Amino acid sequence: MEPIMEIILSRDPEQKEFHQAVTEVLESVKPVLDKNPEYRHEKVLERIVEPERVIIFRVPWMDDRGEIHVNRGFRVEMNSALGPYKGGLRFHPSVNLSILKFLAFEQVFKNALTTLSLGGGKGGSDFDPKGKSDSEVMRFCQSFMSELFRHIGPDTDVPAGDIGVGAREIGYLFGMYKKLKNEFTGVLTGKSVNWGGSLIRPEATGYGCVYFAAEMLATRNSTLEKKVCLVSGSGNVAQYTTEKLIEMGAKVVTLSDSSGYIFDERGIDKEKLEYVKTLKNIKRGRIKEYAEKFSEAVYTPTDPGAAFNPLWNHQADCAFPCATQNEINENDAQNLVNNNVQLVCEGANMPTTIEGINVFQDSNILYAPGKAANAGGVAVSGLEMSQNSMRLNWPRQEVEHRLQIIMKSIHKTCLDAAEDYGTPGNYLIGANIAGFVKVVEAMLDQGLV
């Protein structure tokens, strides 16, 4: 494995998040390479870590005062062995090529696990939608799409949302694509249900994550009923993770944003969650306001220099990181283990550092990596693509039922692969191996392209 890492480190030394994602996968798949010597001969690792195509472009736009700004746009088309590139767009000031390559790399294996025909990609911009008016967001999205439209298409590359890209942004992006191509096709997923979106797509990542957690607990004859849960984030994934946890009888006591977190010992019930949805999705406010509205909750601001995040240091049974990458470090992981947390199920992509993962792996905790546990979002995006192709809309129950079946299947696939390679119960190794083998076999079938 070292020569591959050396190539990556020397070629792109600054891409730390990408190195982290590759290291995690390479460490898991070594036994697969030992069992299949042709993989080394065919240089599958060298091929799989290199994106098929990376597009970087200028995104000029004008704010409401007439001032011009220039952001950078990206699309990483990582791997199309299993289908059209598929993966979200992220608008956040931290976005750079390293973050998008890590996300695109993860996406390849995640999409392989969904049982659908989807390749992997990811894109976005360092644009920050926070504090921008709707008109500014619209002008930005239009400018972004005026370049991206050349590179995507319903059979080529189908982007979706991610951090900072929700229903509003998808609407503006789609409108511009339609105008430029003079086509109404399923080129983006996460569309509004009025005009081509799928029911359950907004809920899918969070709901899927909770279904996955329920499957994991079932392996130990346990359920989510009455479990105290820590959830981070307060965006799309966190909201619907919380919603499904409440529905399954669990008690969610935390939510967060990049400024801080709230702890509500009595639990976030349905009414409080509705308040959060309005606060975040419509008013675009801060989670701090939750503690102003509900006096039983305590707000703690983020301390960027702190050695650990106090959100992960509450007594709880389960933890659902649903905000962003590397939000659980080694100390946080140790705190979770010390507090006897039984399960960590990742709604976000790569929310745990490698040191943190090692702490989980050395403990008895049930730990599910994001590429398995949060695959419900892209799975329902795949179902949205199918519905668009057929020009049909499936009812809510049908989509949710399919989502449940897919999450069960991913869970089983991970466990089976882990068992086959002598690491029973290890979801991380199982997910990496199962996703990797599926993609590599397709690449080999398709020749050296």
Residue with Cβ nearer ligand NDP (321 or 443): 321
User: In terms of CB distance, is 240 or 421 closer to ligand NDP?
Assistant: 240
CA–CA distance, 303 with 228 (Å, rounded to integer): 25
Name the segment binding ligand NDP (CB under 6 A); options: 30-38, 158-166, 308-316, 329-337. Answer: 158-166
Q: How far is the CB of 148 from ligand NDP (least distance, A)?
A: 18
Nearer to ligand NDP, 181 or 288 (CB): 288
Which ranges in 36-166 belong to alpha helices (H)? 37-41, 44-48, 97-113, 134-148
Q: Shortest Cβ distance from residue 302 to ligand NDP (Å)? A: 7
Residues, the chain = 449
If binding is defined by CB under 6 A, does position 368 make contact with ligand NDP?
A: no
Q: Given candidates 214, 348, 373, 410, which one binds ligand NDP under the rule CB under 6 A?
A: 348
Nearer to ligand NDP, 324 or 335 (CB): 324
Residue with token string 């406010």: 285
* Stretch of 17-25, 221-229, 236-244, 429-437 contacting ligand NDP, by CB under 6 A: 236-244
Q: State which of residues 111, 189, 334, 374 lies at the interface with ligand NDP (CB under 6 A).
A: 374
Question: Hey, what are 401's tokens?
Answer: 């039922």
Q: Choose one: 68-76, 228-236, 329-337, 385-393; the region binding ligand NDP (CB under 6 A).
A: 228-236
Q: How far is CA 368 from CA 225, 314, 353, in A?
A: 19, 20, 14
**Site map for ligand NDP, 79-118, x if CB under 6 A?**
----------------------------------------
Q: Minimum CB separation from ligand NDP for residue 398, in Å?
A: 19
Measured from the CB atom, the residue of 15 and 374 that comes closer to ligand NDP is 374
Least distance between ligand NDP and beta carbon 351 (Å):
7
Residue 132 falls in the annotated catalytic set = no
Beta strand 68-79 with 53-62 is antiparallel
CB 226 within 8 A of CB 191: no
Subset of residues 22 to 61 that bind ligand NDP, contact rule: CB under 6 A: none
Could you tell me which of 138, 150, 159, 143 has the C-alpha nearest to residue 181?
150
Residue nearest to ligand NDP (CB): 235
Two structure tokens written together for 288: 């701090």
Strand partners, 158: 86
What's the rounded Cα separation, in Å, for the pair 83 and 80?
5
- For the chain, helix, strand, coil in percent to 5 are 50, 15, 35
Taking the complex as a whole, how short is the minimal distance between the CB of residue 278 and ligand NDP, in angstroms? 14
Query: Contact between 317 and ligand NDP (CB under 6 A)?
Result: no
Q: Is 347 among the residues that bind ligand NDP (CB under 6 A)?
A: yes
377 binds ligand NDP (CB under 6 A): yes
Cα separation, 106 vs 25, whole angstroms? 9
Least separation in angstroms between residue 348's CB and ligand NDP is 3
Q: Is 162 in the site for ligand NDP (CB under 6 A)?
A: yes
Among 80, 125, 254, 349, binds ligand NDP (CB under 6 A): 349
Quickly tell me which residue has 């249900």 as its tokens. 193
Instruction: Return d(Cα 314, Cα 337) in angstroms, integer.
Output: 11
Q: Cα Rg for the chain, rounded, in angstroms?
A: 21
CB of 347 to ligand NDP, least distance (A): 6
Give the x/- contact pattern for ligand NDP in 192-211, rule: CB under 6 A: -------------x------
Interaction residues for ligand NDP, span 252-271 (CB under 6 A):
257-259
User: Catalytic one among 86, 122, 227, 244?
Assistant: 122
In DSSP notation, 76-108 reads EEEE-SSSSEEEEEEE-TT--HHHHHHHHHHHH
Nearer to ligand NDP (CB atom), residue 169 or residue 317: 169
316: which DSSP letter?
-
Q: Centre a 10 Å sphere on the Cβ of residue 78 and count the other Cβ atoms it contains.
A: 26
CA distance 328 to 351: 6
Strands (E) in 179-338, as ranges, are 228-231, 251-252, 254-257, 260-264, 297-301, 318-320
> How far is the C-alpha of 97 from the C-alpha of 254, rounded, in Å?
31
Can you tell me which of 164, 171, 196, 382 binds ligand NDP, judged by CB under 6 A?
A: 164
> Which residues have a catalytic role annotated?
122
Summarize as ranges the residues that interact with ligand NDP (CB under 6 A). 161-164, 166, 205, 233-238, 257-259, 322-324, 347-349, 374, 377
